[in-house]
Amino acid sequence: MKHNPFFTPVTLGGHTLKNRIVLPPLTRQRSTQPGNVANALMAEYYQQRAGAGLLITEGTQIEPRGQGYAWTPGIHTPEQIAGWRKVTEAVHDAGGVIFAQLWHVGRVSHSALQPGGAAPVSASAVATERVSVFIETAPGAGELVSPSAPRALSTAEVEELVQLYIQAARNAMDAGFDGIELHCANGYLVNQFISAHSNLRDDQYGGSLQNRLRFLRDVVAGVAECIGKDKVGVRFAPLFTTTDEARTYLGLVEDDPHTTYIEAIKILENVGIAYLSIAEADWDNAPEMPLTFRQAVRDTFSGAIIYAGRHTAESGARLLESGLADLVAFGRPFMANPDLPARIANGWALNALNPATVYGGGAEGYTDYPAYSG
């Protein structure tokens, strides 16, 4: 591309990023067991991709109940904090900027993953459908199973969870991260509070849309006050279709997604956080996100806006040139191409992704994808 919008300056919070290419959160299930600890292999993986303007880690659970898939990392023990410090040091040594995605899956879990074999927790005791979670069946082996039926959190427990998010953000700062992203998308815990389909509460966290947004508001405001609003991002996944694919996308399609998410984004704007990341529908033949919604997002939020979907360099560049996005994230291409920014800059061909090695395992399909050699 003669004029490449990916390589123009952009500010995010307190950082001037070297480009507008983002490594989005990508679950890879490579943490050390037992303990769900980030390790040297993960540090190598993220360092290889430090050419991105911004790196966001895979979802890392804020507490033991927050885990929905075997071998995903946490950030709630001293060992986990120390493990992540290896990652942040490796990325910083390579000149990168890295945020930790803080994750709680809520009801998208199984009793085998829960402390003491308990039921998963959620906004309400409403089971999720059409999705699977991954449990370990033997060291290094596991299987997909249906989530266990959840139980509703008490009001006091909801308030305690706000504090757990704040502590996790503090832990991320101790681990050397440049900031954190709150995972409020894809049907996980914060999304379970936002959605009328999963939140049937009758306390201050349920009922009206503003009440359903209260948990989001409390978490975002609490974390921003603790670590600084310029170090906070939020991820949403608004869906505008009711197809089976959308329902399989953890099943939360609002009756009025435009209003629901613009009201949610107003909360982020009022707090003044650094960025908003929006995950677009990314299955085969998924519909385009409505232009009216993208424009409303831009009109509502003054921080940096990231879009992540099945973008190519060309479609991402068009989105940047439209002014509706400030950064574009590439998931699958970044898994297979550690030097993706250089490939985009030079128009080089991309390595193909091996789907069989995305989740779990070791270096194969993780750190062994080659850089471009001509």
Question: How far apart, in Å, are the Cα atoms of 336 and each of 50, 148, 292, 361, 365?
Answer: 14, 33, 33, 15, 8
Alpha-helical (H) ranges within 139-243 are 155-174, 189-194, 209-212, 214-227
Query: How many whole angstroms separate alpha carbon 195 and alpha carbon 172?
Result: 28
3-class SS of residue 222: helix
Query: How many whole angstroms separate alpha carbon 131 and alpha carbon 12?
Result: 34
Reading the block at residue 54, the tokens are 């911004």
Tell me which residue of 367, 248, 279, 211 sits closest to 25, measured CA to CA.
Answer: 279
Collect all residues with Cβ–Cβ distance below 8 Å to 40 and sequence separation of at least 6.
86
3-class SS of residue 21: strand
Reading the block at residue 51, the tokens are 């050419």
Collect all residues with Cβ–Cβ distance below 8 Å to 78 and sequence separation of at least 6.
none
Tell me which residue of 40, 160, 158, 165 sits closest to 100, measured CA to CA.
Answer: 165
> Pick the catalytic residue: 46, 69, 165, 188?
188
3-class SS of residue 191: helix
3-class SS of residue 125: coil
E strands of the chain, at which residues? 10-12, 15-17, 21-23, 54-61, 98-103, 121-122, 133-138, 141-145, 151-152, 179-183, 232-236, 275-279, 304-308, 327-329
Active site residue 188: yes
Helix (H) or strand (E) holding 271: helix 257-271
Type of residue at 109: S
Q: Are 194 and 213 in contact (CB under 8 A)?
A: yes
Residues catalogued as catalytic: 188
